[in-house]
A and B are shown apart, each in its own frame.
Chain A
Amino acid sequence: MLSVSDIIFYIFAFFAAYAQLFLLITFLENRKILDKKNSVTELERYPAVTIIVPCWNEERTLSRTVRSILNLKYPKNRLRLILIDDGSTDGTWQAILRFAKYPNVKVFRKGNGGKHTALNLGLEHTDTEFLGCLDADSEADPESLLRLMSYFEKNPNLMAVTPSIVVKRAQNAVERAQKVEYYMANVFVKKMQAFLGAIHVTPGPLTIFRKKVFENLGPYRYAHNTEDMEIAYRMQKNHYLIEQCHEAVVYTSTPLSIRKLYKQRLRWIYGFINNTIDYRNVLFRKKYGNFALFTVPSGILALLASTFIFGKFIASAINLVSTKVMEYQTVGLKLIPKRNIFDPFFISTQATLFIGIFMVILVLITVFLGYKMAEGKGKFFSMDVLYFFLIFSFVAPIWLLQALLSTAFSRRPAWR
């Protein structure tokens, strides 16, 4: 007889497997498009593009970010750069001033008002047909802009293109875990979402927009500290097409420690929950396409399922500890196992085990495809994958849970 908890587990597991299979089927449908090498080296027309770099205490990374933009393979006279110091308290402004001498660079300094205010200041000073933002902790690959712009050339209806964001230098376990996650989420999943017309985030690192997007829909909003998600929601609501150019690579710095990663993800998940609440009237409505029927519901499901499974895990752990305490109180400390652990009979044969195995296989296939799309060759397993499973299985449910609680009690997470 199944318990209520088992039934809930099976429902969550079913939809989690459904989401994974949906992405894999999308991949198979579009395999031929992905196999084609997009070796763009030139465009018919080079529209002017403005890149806005909002900075808040980024003195250490800013220089590399700006140099990566100046080194982009794009005509210099078609490229503008706006550097904005959003009330930094370190030497960011001095770092910005070093680039003020360049003719295509404009610099601004303002009081701290949040990333969206800095971006909006940049928007006010943008007079080009296209614009993008590059977070000051990221570096663009020299060919990235050219590749991104080629998508606009191919499709005049396109409103925004996101790049493949990968981890800059993955050295410790936390960064290496994120490297795998970025290959999965920011390369593979995002490309599949693009095929479905259902991208829900236009990330800070070098998403390129038509200026028309902001002219028609208005500037960036505060949006619970996730303005790059809100603008994508707003675009989807208005049926604006967003694509992903997986061949355009942007390298980003990722949190070095679990504590910093936790803070970042708490902010992202809190943003996801609250933007979804703000745009709840879009959910499950056919006219908003796969965005409303697949992307956002999958996110909600992932949030609830991870929290539930983690709760189940904690309950089992508490049960195990209390049983051990009871054993100790009853007969003292006994180290001899009660059953022969080498007998295969004692391996579980419950359906949950096989479902779990299938889920891990599906995730590994996704990791493999993410690696293949980003690095040109697939990888099912590496230490990075192990770190990914360890960190994201045990820590992610906690930030998900805290994001839910923060929403329930209206406690806004800090940016860093």
Chain B
Amino acid sequence: MNKNPIDWTKYLIVFLLTAGLFGVAAWLSNYFGGQKISELKSIQDNIALDILSSETQFSLLSDLSCKNMNDSILSGQLSEIGTKLEWEEQNMGNTPEVLYLRKYYSLLEIKDYLLMKNISKRCGTKYAFILYFYTTKENCSQCQREGLVLSDLRSKYPSLRVYSFDYSTDLSAVKSMLDIYKIKDTALPAVVLQDEALTGFRTETELENKIKKFFGLEEKSGAKSAGKSASASSTGIKKP
């Protein structure tokens, strides 16, 4: 006869061990996730410092400052942080830390946008600015495509600066921009080009024509210089 009794203690111990294993997995996930958040925070702090420094420099030197201004000190890392933030949102979900970083990032984008606009105006540098508003994939079926179009345009035109904003960002500065350009969540994706709000999906050709018309930008020549410029002068574009 098979009289192998059931060892309930063993069943319980293994249960606790398995729970412990899952606990370790959760802890490791939190630990490494936290490291990434710290990394992002640190990059953002650096950007904030860069922007503040540039603003101060700009105010101090006024018109004479143009020759001293270059975009590399402003937002070289803004593109990197945009891509990393997007990855973190996909990977970790919208945790409070990620939402905070998203707000911080949006604020830095607005500051960079305003500063670059001033520099461009005063110094006559050829920069094109696009503000891009999107929302989640579930609420905006075309946002992902628009994001792709803008990324592609950015790589074609090194002087094009694209600032992307999540419609749902709970930040008064973002809400003010939405009010200024009268953008509703039902009309996303939305692109603001030279103060003109274009809602709904816009093709690459259409946007390209407008960029050429408004800003007189030229397409990059040679992949080497383009790659360098694109990373140095543009911000990450969120594709939900």
Contacts and interface: CB of A to CB of B under 8 A. Distances in A.
Interface stretch (B86-94, B104-112, B169-177): B86-94
Interface stretch (A48-56, A78-86, A234-242, A401-409): A234-242
Contact of A198 (B4, B22, B92): B4
B39 A355 contact: no
Contacts of B29: 349-351, 353-354
B25 A327 contact: no
Interface string B47-86: 0000000000000000000000000000000000001100
A286 B4 CA distance: 11
B28 interface: yes
A196 B22 CA distance: 25
Contacts of A348: 91
Interface in A7-49: 10, 14, 17-18, 21-22, 25, 29
B149 A338 contact: no
Contacts of B144: 323, 326
Interface string B220-231: 000000010000
Contacts of A338: 83, 151
Interface string A215-235: 000000000000000000000
A23 to B, nearest CB: 9
A125 to B, nearest CB: 29
Contacts of A236: 2
Given A14-B18, A18-B14, A25-B10, A339 B33 contact: no
B92 to A, nearest CB: 7
Contact of A25 (B3, B14, B21, B87): B14
Contacts of B32: 349
B71 to A, nearest CB: 20
Given A18-B15, A345-B84, A355 B25 contact: yes
Given A17-B22, A326-B145, A339-B87, A289 B5 contact: yes
Is chain A's binding surface mostly helix, strand, loop or mixed?
A: helix
A4 B188 CA distance: 28
A29 B13 CA distance: 13
A345 B36 contact: yes
B204 interface: yes
Contacts of A239: 1-3
A345 B87 contact: yes
A98 interface: no
A345 B86 CA distance: 12
Contacts of A351: 22, 25-26, 28-29
Interface in A315-349: 323, 326-327, 330-331, 334, 336, 338-339, 345-346, 348-349
Interface string A295-318: 000000000000000000000000
A8 B222 CA distance: 50
Given A18-B18, A331-B152, A345-B36, A354 B1 contact: no
B180 interface: no
Interface string B136-170: 00000000110011011001000000000000000
Contacts of A354: 24-25, 28-29
A327 B204 CA distance: 12
A22 B204 CA distance: 58
B91 A350 contact: yes
Nearest to A289: B4
A203 interface: no
Contact of A289 (B6, B26, B151): B6
A358 B21 contact: yes
Nearest to B25: A354
B92 A14 contact: no
Contacts of A17: 18, 21-22
Contacts of B91: 348-350
A21 B17 contact: yes
A340 to B, nearest CB: 8
Interface in A274-294: 286, 289-290, 293
A157 interface: yes
Nearest to A23: B14
A231 to B, nearest CB: 14
A44 B14 CA distance: 41
B148 A21 contact: no
Nearest to B152: A331
Contact of A1 (B93, B152, B204): B93
A397 interface: no
A22 B12 CA distance: 10
Nearest to B147: A330
Interface string A352-377: 01110010000000000000000000
A163 interface: no
A29 B10 CA distance: 10
A290 B6 CA distance: 6
Contacts of B145: 326, 330
Contacts of A331: 148-149, 151-152, 204
A349 B6 contact: no
Given A331-B148, A331-B204, A348-B91, A286 B6 contact: yes
Contacts of A29: 10
A204 interface: no
A196 B2 CA distance: 10
B4 A197 contact: yes
Nearest to A16: B18
A327 B146 CA distance: 10
A330 B93 contact: no
Interface of A: 1, 10, 14, 17-18, 21-22, 25, 29, 157, 196-198, 236, 239-242, 286, 289-290, 293, 323, 326-327, 330-331, 334, 336, 338-339, 345-346, 348-351, 353-355, 358
8 contacts: A18-B14, A18-B15, A290-B4, A323-B144, A331-B204, A336-B155, A346-B87, A350-B92
Interface of B: 1-6, 10-11, 13-15, 17-18, 21-22, 24-26, 28-29, 32-33, 36, 39, 83-84, 87, 91-93, 144-145, 148-149, 151-152, 155, 204, 227
